[in-house]
Structure 1
Amino acid sequence: MRMGALHKWAIAAFLALGTAPALADQLVTDLSEHKIAIRSNFTGTQILLFGAVEANTPGERALDRDVIVVVTGPSRAMTVRRKARIAGIWVNHDSLVFPRVPSYYAVASTRPLEVTAGIDILKREQIGIDNVDLGTPKAQAMDGREEILPPDDEASFIKALIRNKKREKLFISDPGGVTFLGQTLFRATVDIPANVPVGLYTATVFLLRDGQVVDAIASPLYIDKSGLERFIYRLAHAQPLFYGLVAVLGAALAGWLASALLRER
């Protein structure tokens, strides 16, 4: 009886191992730098994100996968206003407040996003500018009253927000921006414009196979002002009243010096 039970247990274990799913492919990634210092001569830069795909099946090419890189800046509330012509004058009419707008969002991929995965996967992982969760917006009329906008009007505000961010080069989309170097190695460069906000950023790399995310790795990226710019920035935010007084006194002193030099001439 014992041998029979042991034999059955061994067969069951063997069948379980044989039907167990294979381990998923894995990513190994890193950034060229994890901190960017903004000085007075900062005109923008690029970060290099590189890595490798460790395929689970020996001899299988990593080129059969898709890699997507997403760099996201700190989120903050943002108001989008729509102008209307009233009595011949263009004024701010309606406005929509989005509670969670990334201050910076860049996405690069091996192929266009629409062919790498379905819309449900892209929305779940917030991959792609159009799939970012901006929170529940609140609409306000010109007199400050809250109102409910039709879906078409709300969509037009979202398009305007994305259009403005792209114009400022703070929303970037680069299909084909991730390239493979050989069988497993890949790289991507992401532009950081001069007007990039400071804060803690996140660089996330997604590995997809057959339209499904099989692995993801997130790395921190810190962007901060440095030197005198850092002192002025922190003073303006920590002690705005004192900063305003210093700015007014500095402007008055500069004006007095300029007038004194002109009188001497």
Structure 2
Amino acid sequence: MRFAAILLLLLISALPLRAQDEEVVLGLSQNRVAITASFDGSEILVFGAVKRQAPIPEQPMEVIITVAGPDGPVTLHRKARKAGIWVNADTVRIDRAPSFYAVATTGPLDKILSQTEDLRHEVSIPRAVRSVGVSEVVADPGNFTDALIRIRENEGVYQQLDGEVTFDQQTLFRTKITLPSNLTEGSYPTRIFLTRGGAVVADFETVIDVRKVGLERWLFVLSRNQPVVYGVLSLVIAVVAGWLASAVFRWFRR
């Protein structure tokens, strides 16, 4: 009996896998962003198509596109008034939070993606922020996560873009993601999810590379590899700039 079960498993594994009925074919207006001294932001056009092996089903499809910046820990402080002064009452460390996160969709995210799928793929902004262990420090960990999201939404680095994905004839899709000027250098994973009835039926991922170039890159590398030289150079530049400003001021007074 055991031998028969093993044989059946081997036969099943030997069968060719069925090709995915719907797949993503993706394009980007640019897959590399250069941060220069005059960099004031950028706009990425994300576009693509749905490749099908069968006729379009009757149930409509939805598209979700996410772009995430490098993540890292974040420390949050909650202030309270004690003895007439404001002090840090609670301090919480968020394990992981993306430096940038944008979610663009064809419709309201909570309508086109189930909570189970959101938990599985970490699509929504709250799911992208990892705060495991915070509940052991404070009684209301959700307030700290909400505060972080609210602050970064106001800064423009967290973006919820419901209805910003155009989907033509259930085949061609496109959207624009605005990258702010205060970008963190690194790789920006870009994911596309095709959903139907709240469930993910196909997904695709690529990467946008964000790097400093020119003088910005040289100064960044110098500050990391030779901090003493970087500090001396900064001091020299500050002294020279101060001397020039003083000289110009004296010249105008004559």
TM-score with structure 1 setting the length: 0.82
In the TM superposition, residue 23 of structure 1 has moved relative to its aligned partner by 4.2
- The superposition leaves residues 35-65 of structure 1 with CA deviations (integer Å, 9 ceiling, x where unpaired) of 001112211111011111123322x269821
User: For residue 156 of structure 1, what is the aligned residue in structure 2?
Assistant: 143
**Alignment match, 2:11:** none
Q: Which residue identity is paired with 2:143?
A: S
Residues 109-144 of structure 1: CA distance to partner in whole angstroms, max 9, x if unpaired? 1111111121111111111112224142458xxxxx
Question: Deviation per CA, 1:123-178, whole angstroms, max 9, x where unpaired?
Answer: 11111112224142458xxxxxxx7211xx21111111101111111100101111
Letter in 2 for 1:42: F
Report what 1:142 is aligned to.
Answer: none
CA RMSD of aligned residues (A): 2.4
Which one of 80, 95, 106 corresponds to residue 99 of structure 1?
Answer: 95
CA distance in 2, matches of 1:198, 1:98: 20
1:196 aligns with 2:177: no
Deviation at 1:260, TM superposition (A): 3.4
Aligned to 2:78, what secondary structure does the other structure show? strand
Output the CA distance in 1 between the equivalents of 2:41 and 2:228. Answer: 31
**Is contact 2:42-2:179 (8 Å) kept?**
yes
1:127 paired to 2:123: yes
Partner of 1:53: 50
- Relative distance call for 1:230 and 1:137 in structure 2 (3 A) is farther
Change in Cα spacing, 1:217 to 1:158, as seen in structure 2 (3 Å) is: same
Alpha-carbon distance in 1 for matches of 2:210, 2:243? 37
Hey, which bits of structure 1, 4+ residues long, moved more than 4 A?
20-23
Cα distance, 1:21 vs. partner?
A: 7.9
Q: Does the 8 Å contact 2:35/2:211 carry over to 1?
A: yes
Q: Which residue is 2:7 aligned to?
A: none
Mapped to 1, the partners of 2:94 and 2:184 lie a distance apart of 18
SS at match of 1:64: coil
Alignment-derived partner of residue 161 in structure 2: 174
- Residues 18-167 of structure 1 correspond to what in structure 2 (within 5 A)? 23-58=20-55, 60=56, 64-138=60-134, 148-150=137-139, 153-167=140-154
The amino acid that maps onto 1:258 is A
**Percent same amino acid among aligned pairs?**
38
Report if the CA contact (8 A) 2:60-2:170 is conserved: no
Q: In the alignment, residue 141 of structure 2 is paired with which amino acid?
A: E
With 160-169 and 82-91 compared, the bigger mean Cα shift is at 82-91
Question: Contact 2:63–2:192 at 8 Å: present in 1 too?
Answer: yes
**CA–CA separation in structure 2 for the residues paired with 1:183 and 1:96:** 44
Structure 2 unaligned residues grouped into runs of 5+: 1-14
In the TM superposition, residue 183 of structure 1 has moved relative to its aligned partner by 4.2
SS of corresponding position for 1:196: coil
- After TM superposition, give the deviation of residue 254 of structure 1 in Å: 1.8
Which deviations, in whole Å up to 9, do the C-alpha atoms of 1:63-87 show, x marking residues without a partner?
8211100101111111111111122
Deviation at 1:200, TM superposition (A): 0.7
Query: CA separation in 2, counterparts of 1:196 and 1:247?
Result: 23
Unaligned regions of 5+ residues in structure 1, if any? 1-15, 140-146
Contact residue 54 and residue 62 of structure 1 kept, 8 A: no
TM-score, normalised to structure 2, is 0.86
Match of 2:172 in 1: 185
Residues 63 and 184, structure 1, Cα contact 8 Å, conserved in 2 = no
Q: Hey, what does 1:229 align to over in structure 2?
A: 216
The aligned amino acid for 2:63 is V
Q: SS at 1:201's partner residue?
A: strand
